[in-house]
């Protein structure tokens, strides 16, 4: 909505001068940066980037144990290498097209590159984006579910529900997300996975503990947003629906929540944009999301500048898309 | 139909200042009766009305609706409210739902009617309040008078035995008051039991079977409109009438 008011009129000359100043400022700071990178002899190699999205990557097959190469068998378009040690043996497989660097009977030591092969497919950064998206989508869905339940509990007349919600909010908001991720991964995950293993069930991967940490973190903020949304609904709406014989649950579901959710869409979007950015912390517990993938990309390419810029821009694309989507939703949900 | 006995309502203020909104209110309203409650602002007339469908919980006393004691903890108040329609000063239509959905909703959710049955009833009622051509519009697109007529249709959709009106015309522009009053008058002619809090003395004179005058939480005087407007007995009533007529 554009508004023009007599209070905010700017004289055209001032306007143009300011605009020119802004553009000059942007260009100047960018040039300064380029000059500075020249001064420290950084060579930009942007051409290296695309292959990290999609392309052919070369992989090494490395031995883990010491022993003799027993056999090389090709079957079903795969090559199988078997290394036999003194009292153990290990199998390695690679595509048929791979290039063998050793032959049967050779002595193998740990770390030896036995073969190399190339594979075409999505690269490191694309995988990172997919993981970031996966984490963000799951955490947003769980976050909003937790938030709605928490928000309703927060305004409940039942003190047990209300105080559960308050304690949850204060605990989550009072400590750094990074610490919470550590607690989820090094405390909860250790306990839960330990129990699962002792029962003979598969461990849950770090990804899910990361999602849990983000969900509960976002959930606390969403709880407060939902509470504010519910409280912003005119009491007359509740009176009208209750006077028609609706139960408080029916009133909440049909009248209050639909109106509240529409109102809280903008702050909710802000929260989920934060969530996407916060997911970058999950690299610390070995979830290979975008930031972690970028760091790995830098170790193989040795081009940190390009990678960090690309990483930042990818986050910008994700968050911008989300905010566009929310604006679209807001327009769609608008009633006259 | 509605019987109140020694009803008290006290609002407890944070600063220890309590307001006695209702003081010993006892009255009985028969089936088919149209009762108009009048009185200065703060006299407790709205509080009385809101106590009747438990939007306010009376502090002390008894209310029977159709012989059901609504202040009894065991009473399912939602069941009682299904039988008691209420129309508010500020309409309180659901802004996120179209006119049709506003009227449909409770029929579907509370009365568990099928979509078809609800829709037939809805269109019939919208016809009755003269607004059927706006069925697909949203409340914000309607004038105040139209909104209030939709609100009446919404309450009627539940087939209530009693209709409560809480200053239904006070928020309206003067030229829209008539259309709402007309709907209320036709409802009264059909024999609906109605309790109306209003400042429309014309409506009271024309339609009411009985007028109740309240002041400072208590019923000061009640009687037929003729008695009330021609020869009121209490000084307080005379003063009030002289101020507004």
Q: Which residues of A touch B99 (CB under 8 A)?
A: none
Task: Dig out the tokens for B170 from the structure.
Answer: 């006070």
A105 contacts: CB under 8 Å, gap ≥ 6: A68, A69
User: Each residue of A112-169: pLDDT tens digit?
Assistant: 888 888 888 888 899 999 999 999 999 999 999 999 999 999 999 999 999 999 999 9
Q: Are A132 and A318 in contact (CB under 8 A)?
A: yes
d(CA A184, CA A162): 25
What's the gap in Å between the CA of A258 and the closest CA on chain B? 8
Task: Dig out the tokens for A81 from the structure.
Answer: 């290498």
What's the gap in Å between the CA of B160 and the closest CA on chain A? 9
Instruction: Return the residue of B nearest to A334 by Cα.
Output: B96
Q: What are the DSSP calls for A89-128, one per residue?
A: EEEEEEETT-EE---TT-EE-TT-EEEEEEEEEE-HHHHH
Q: To the nearest whole percent, how much of chain B has pLDDT over 70?
A: 100
Closest CA to A104 of A77, A82, A87, A86: A82
Closest CA to A125 of A296, A268, A305: A296
* pLDDT confidence of residue A250: 95
* pLDDT confidence of residue A114: 86
* pLDDT confidence of residue A41: 85
User: Each residue of A156-205: pLDDT tens digit?
Assistant: 999 999 999 999 999 999 999 999 999 999 999 999 999 999 998 888 99
How distant is the alpha carbon of residue A200 from its chain centre? 30
Mutate which of A234, A239, A240 to test chain B, going by most B C-beta atoms within 10 A?
A240
Q: Which of residues 99-128 of A touch B (CB under 8 A)?
A: none
Q: Do A240 and B88 touch (CB under 8 A)?
A: yes
How distant is the alpha carbon of residue A305 from its chain centre? 21
Tell me the pLDDT of chain A averaged across its residues.
91
* pLDDT confidence of residue A4: 58
Instruction: Return the residue of B nearest to A260 by Cα.
Output: B96
Residue A210 binned pLDDT confidence (cut-offs 50, 70, 90): very high
| Confidence check: pLDDT of A285 > 90 | yes
Q: Do B81 and A239 touch (CB under 8 A)?
A: no
Q: Are B60 and B138 in contact (CB under 8 A)?
A: no
User: Each residue of A2-12: pLDDT tens digit?
Assistant: 455 677 778 88
Alpha helices in chain A (DSSP H): 12-39, 124-154, 159-173, 177-182, 189-198, 206-231, 235-243, 248-251, 257-278, 290-301, 304-333
* pLDDT confidence of residue A3: 53
Nearest CB neighbour to A244, from listed B90, B96, B158: B158
User: Each residue of A322-333: pLDDT tens digit?
Assistant: 999 999 988 888
User: Each residue of B70-80: pLDDT tens digit?
Assistant: 998 899 999 99
Q: Which residues of A touch B90 (CB under 8 A)?
A: 236
Q: Do A241 and B106 touch (CB under 8 A)?
A: yes
| Confidence check: pLDDT of B235 > 80 | yes
A69-97 as b/e, with b when 16 or more CB fall inside 10 Å? bbebeeeeeebebbbebeeeeeebebeee
Q: Which one has a higher pLDDT value, A56 or B209? A: B209
Three-class DSSP category at B207: helix
> What mean pLDDT do residues A28-47 have?
90
* pLDDT confidence of residue A1: 44
> What mean pLDDT do residues A266-271 have?
93
Q: Which residues of A touch B105 (CB under 8 A)?
A: 244, 254
Instruction: Return the residue of B nearest to A258 by Cα.
Output: B96
- Predicted TM-score (pTM) of the model is 0.81
User: Each residue of A74-86: pLDDT tens digit?
Assistant: 888 888 888 888 8
Q: Do A245 and B88 touch (CB under 8 A)?
A: no
Nearest CB neighbour to A250, from listed B85, B109, B155: B109
Q: Which of residues 226-265 of A touch B (CB under 8 A)?
A: 234, 236-237, 239-247, 250, 254-255, 258-259, 262
d(CA B184, CA B178): 10
């Amino acid at each position: 909505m554009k508004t023009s008011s007599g209070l905010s009129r700017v004289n055209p000359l001032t306007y143009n001068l300011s605009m020119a100043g802004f553009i000059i400022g942007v260009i100047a700071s960018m040039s300064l940066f380029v000059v500075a990178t020249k001064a420290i002899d950084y060579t930009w190699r942007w051409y290296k980037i695309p292959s990290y999205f999609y392309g052919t990557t070369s992989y090494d097959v490395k031995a883990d144990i010491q022993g003799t190469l027993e056999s090389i068998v090709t079957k079903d378009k795969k090559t199988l290498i078997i290394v036999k040690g003194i009292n153990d043996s290990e199998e390695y497989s690679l595509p048929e097209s791979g290039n063998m660097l050793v032959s049967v009977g050779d002595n193998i030591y740990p770390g030896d590159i036995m073969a190399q092969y190339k594979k075409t497919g999505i690269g490191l950064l694309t995988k990172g984006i997919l993981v970031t998206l996966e984490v963000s989508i799951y955490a947003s869905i769980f976050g909003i579910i937790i938030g709605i339940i928490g928000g309703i509990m927060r305004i409940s007349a039942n003190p047990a529900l209300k105080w559960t919600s308050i304690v949850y909010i204060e605990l989550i908001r009072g400590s750094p997300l990074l610490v919470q991720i550590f607690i989820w991964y090094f405390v909860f995950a250790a306990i839960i996975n330990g129990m699962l293993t002792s029962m003979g069930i598969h461990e849950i991967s770090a990804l899910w503990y990361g999602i849990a940490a983000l969900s509960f973190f976002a959930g606390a903020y969403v709880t407060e947003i939902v509470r504010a949304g519910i409280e912003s609904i005119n009491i007359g709406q509740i009176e009208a629906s209750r006077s028609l014989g609706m139960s408080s649950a029916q009133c909440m579901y049909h009248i209050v929540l639909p109106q509240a959710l529409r109102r809280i869409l903008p702050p909710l979007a802000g929260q989920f944009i934060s969530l996407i950015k916060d997911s970058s912390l999950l690299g610390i517990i070995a979830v290979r999301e975008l930031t972690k993938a970028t760091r790995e990309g830098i170790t193989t390419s040795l081009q940190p500048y390009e990678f960090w810029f690309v990483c930042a821009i990818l986050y910008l694309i994700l968050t911008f898309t989300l905010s566009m989507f929310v604006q679209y939703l807001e327009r769609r949900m608008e009633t006259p | 139909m509605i019987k109140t006995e020694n009803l008290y309502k006290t609002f407890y203020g944070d600063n220890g200042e309590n307001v006695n909104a209702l003081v010993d209110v006892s009255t009985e309203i028969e089936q088919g009766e149209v009762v108009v409650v009048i009185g200065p602002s703060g006299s407790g007339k709205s509080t009385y009305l809101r106590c009747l469908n438990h939007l306010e919980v009376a502090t002390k006393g008894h209310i029977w609706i159709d012989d059901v004691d609504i202040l009894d903890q065991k009473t399912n108040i939602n069941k009682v409210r299904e039988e008691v329609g209420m129309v508010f000063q500020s309409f309180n239509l659901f802004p996120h739902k179209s006119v049709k959905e506003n009227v449909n909703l409770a029929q579907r959710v509370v009365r568990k009617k099928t979509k078809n049955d609800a829709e037939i009833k809805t269109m019939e009622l919208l016809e009755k309040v003269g607004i059927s051509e706006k069925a697909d519009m949203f409340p914000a697109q309607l004038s105040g008078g139209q909104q209030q007529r939709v609100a009446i249709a919404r309450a009627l959709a539940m087939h209530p035995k009693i209709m409560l009106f809480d200053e239904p015309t006070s928020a309206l522009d003067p030229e829209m008051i008539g259309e709402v009053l007309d709907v209320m008058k036709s409802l009264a002619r059909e024999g609906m039991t109605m309790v109306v809090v209003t400042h429309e003395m014309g409506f009271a004179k024309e339609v009411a079977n009985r007028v109740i005058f309240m002041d400072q939480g208590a019923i000061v005087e009640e009687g037929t409109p003729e008695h009330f407007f021609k020869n009121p007995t209490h000084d307080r009533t005379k003063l009030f009438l002289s101020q507004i007529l």
